[in-house]
């Protein structure tokens, strides 16, 4: 009887932990083309950037200047799941996982949308 109770307790803990686990990254390690878009102007086209994903490490490079954005490395970050917003973010420390706000022109980290292949940023801010 005790074993059954203990087993039930461990199973409950395991299921609870699984429900809070980060989702699997939607893209495999590799090199991709994404768009960098301004959250203040969501209808604008933005511009293409080169994205390199190696596990949870991401680098984003702007191949040529675009407006006030210079060519070169834009982000060298860690892909993190933000549970509150249920979005992937470009994080720099574990604190970013619990940021009160993400994306747009908030003070939080940028959001990356793997489905549309867009990195949302506040370009002018």
125, 110, 123: which is closest to 45 by C-alpha?
123
The total number of residues shown for the chain amounts to: 125
Domain boundaries, the chain: 30-121
User: Can you give the pLDDT at residue 31?
Assistant: 98
Dihedrals phi, psi of 4, to nearest 5 degrees: -65, -40
User: Can you give the pLDDT at residue 21?
Assistant: 77
User: Can you give the pLDDT at residue 1?
Assistant: 58
User: Can you give the pLDDT at residue 9?
Assistant: 47
pLDDT in tens, the chain (125 residues): 566 555 554 444 444 444 457 899 999 999 999 999 999 988 888 999 999 999 999 999 999 999 889 999 999 999 999 999 999 999 999 999 999 999 888 889 999 999 999 999 987 54
User: Can you give the pLDDT at residue 11?
Assistant: 44
29, 54, 28, 46: which is closest to 110 by C-alpha?
46
């Amino acid at each position: 009887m005790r074993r059954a109770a203990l087993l039930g307790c461990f199973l409950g803990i395991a299921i609870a932990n699984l429900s809070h686990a980060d989702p699997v990254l939607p893209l495999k390690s590799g090199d991709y083309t994404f768009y960098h878009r301004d959250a203040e102007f969501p209808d604008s086209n933005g511009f293409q950037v080169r994205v390199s994903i190696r596990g949870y490490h991401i680098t984003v490079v702007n191949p040529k200047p675009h407006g006030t954005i210079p060519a070169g490395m834009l982000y060298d970050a860690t892909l993190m799941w933000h549970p509150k917003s249920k979005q992937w973010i470009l994080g720099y420390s574990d604190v970013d996982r619990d940021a009160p706000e993400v994306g747009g022109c908030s003070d939080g980290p940028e959001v990356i949308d793997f489905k549309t292949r867009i990195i949302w940023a506040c370009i002018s801010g």
